[in-house]
Structure 1
Amino acid sequence: MLRPLQRATPVITIDLDDVALNKETEAILASLDDLTPLLKALGSAAHGIWNEKFRREGPGWQPLADVTLAKRRKNGRGAEILKDDGKLFASLTDSASEGSVYELSSKALTIGTNLEYAAVHQFGSKDRKIPKRAFLPDASEVAPEFERVIKRYVERVSK
């Protein structure tokens, strides 16, 4: 259902062919010509999950270093993790923002960010002493919300 792609830009692909569904739900979805409304709803759910990860600063994100905090204060900026200029956050929560990746097909949606520095934050960098602060959700984080979205969509289209 959800798989991070191993490439330079942090993105996930929501692929309906990979979703474990019950037979009834599978049959209903298979009978539909256009699943893009469902994929768009799942994309909105993913944007909401990212929004919450940034709001909570993780979980598991290492706090900013004292030197980083001092530099930000000197420049009149805030202390929120991964929100220095807001571009990374915007690229993940608003598909119209600079750096946002939003590729929709009839069976899959790829979303994420192509900002140059995003991968460094997602995976960390020992060379630059930047800790890993994974902002892409893993499957266990999104499964309950995605299941709810799919269930609601199937109920709506099968009426």
Structure 2
Amino acid sequence: MAGSFISVDVVGQKQIGQALNRLLKQGSDLEPALRDIGEYLLESTQQRFIDQQAPNGEPWDPLSPKTLAKKKRQDRVLTETGTLVDTLHYQLGVNQLTLGSNMEYAATHQFGRESDGIPARPFLGIAVFERVEILAILRDHLN
């Protein structure tokens, strides 16, 4: 035969098919992995209140003198009674994970409110090291 050609022999076709079917089955029910990710992100987000920093590692803006004068706990930003951090929770949906707080003022602190002079102090988000852990959780789930 003139010209060039390539021949491919598949070895282990049965094992490959079984592995792909297993991967498809595990990938169709992500709830266990999402639950693990939710628990991880909940703890990590709560740690931000202790560290007083945004997901990107930047420290939160300090409290204004006006706010300091009203606070009982002057040493902690976003922590007077602990309600905000205590209301953090996650919810699972169909292949979906949502993390946040149901407190109305959570958005004010996350995004700031310029009209009242309140700077953004983001506590929700995913840090680079958290992305690595999320991928590890998903990898473990799919193995």
Deviation by residue 1:64-88 (Cα, 9 ceiling, x = unmatched):
1122222213xxx353111112111
Deviation by residue 1:4-30 (Cα, 9 ceiling, x = unmatched):
xxxxxxxxxxxxxxxxxxxxxx97553
* Distance change in 2, residues 1:84/1:106 (3 Å): same
* Post-superposition offset of 1:141: 5.1
* Distance change in 2, residues 1:120/1:148 (3 Å): same
Equivalent position of 1:68 in the other structure: 67
- TM-score (normalised: structure 1): 0.65
* Distance change in 2, residues 1:117/1:28 (3 Å): farther
C-alpha separation in 1, matches of 2:84 and 2:22: 37
Give the total of aligned pairs: 120
Structure 2 unaligned blocks of 5 or more: 1-19
* Post-superposition offset of 1:110: 1.3
C-alpha separation in 2, matches of 1:141 and 1:133: 20
C-alpha separation in 2, matches of 1:28 and 1:44: 25
C-alpha separation in 1, matches of 2:62 and 2:114: 16
Larger Rg: 2
RMSD: 2.4
Q: From 84, 106, 115, give the equivalent of 1:88.
A: 84
Deviation by residue 1:85-138 (Cα, 9 ceiling, x = unmatched):
21111112xx3xxxxxx3312311112112111111000111111011011124
**After TM superposition, what 4+ stretches of structure 1 lie above 6 angstroms from structure 2?**
none
Q: Is the 8 A contact 1:88 1:113 kept in 2?
A: yes
Structure 1 unaligned blocks of 5 or more: 1-25, 96-101
